[in-house]
């Protein structure tokens, strides 16, 4: 079911992005600020993603057991590869500057953030010496709720239903501030 859902999502999204590029936006190429900035953001995300994946692969080749990844963006987050992928697709959305690409970037983030939270919790549960200041996916960000209340609420409900954590361990305050 999960693989089929992912296939259908990517098929539909690919169609919308392709349709918008091929038939709505036209085939003109301009070196616009969106293209330059988006390409830079995409390249940064790709670098973070690839270097983090390479670090994880090297850990597997060095040992048969699980280890705490260190170095690079692992100094700040548990899943820098997922962080890098999110950055890549937001760079893609900046390049194309259309609703289809933004939709893809957002849904990619909504898919990868719960995975990162799950991995982060696994590390914390399995390593007593896991770095306490390391975040799950976004460095230096300690709380999503004030910034994205609707999205954070949906994320909280998704994680709660997936039993990623118990309600007593909730880290997102979804209640509005009292007047």
Q: How many residues does the chain have?
A: 179
Tens-digit pLDDT profile for residues 55-82: 999 888 877 788 899 999 999 999 999 9
Tens-digit pLDDT profile for residues 20-34: 877 776 666 678 898
Residue with tokens 């392709």: 18
Give pTM, 2 decimals.
0.72
Indicate the Cα dihedral angle 51, 56, 62, 68, nearest 10°.
Answer: 120
């Amino acid at each position: 079911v999960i693989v089929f859902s992912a296939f259908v999502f990517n098929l539909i999204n690919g169609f919308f992005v392709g349709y918008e590029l091929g038939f709505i936006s036209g085939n003109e190429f301009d070196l616009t600020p969106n293209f330059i900035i988006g390409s830079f953001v995409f390249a940064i995300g790709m670098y973070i993603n690839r270097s983090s994946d390479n670090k994880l692969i090297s850990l597997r080749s060095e040992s048969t057991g699980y280890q705490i990844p260190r170095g690079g963006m692992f100094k700040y987050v548990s899943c820098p590869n997922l962080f890098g992928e999110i950055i890549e697709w937001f760079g893609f959305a900046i390049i194309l500057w259309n609703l289809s690409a933004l939709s893809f970037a957002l849904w990619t983030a909504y898919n990868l953030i719960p995975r990162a939270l799950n991995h982060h919790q696994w590390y914390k549960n399995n390593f007593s010496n896991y770095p306490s200041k390391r975040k799950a996916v976004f460095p230096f960000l300690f709380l999503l709720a004030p910034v994205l209340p609707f999205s954070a609420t949906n994320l909280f409900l998704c994680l709660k239903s997936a039993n990623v954590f118990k309600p007593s361990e909730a880290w997102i305050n979804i209640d509005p501030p009292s007047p």
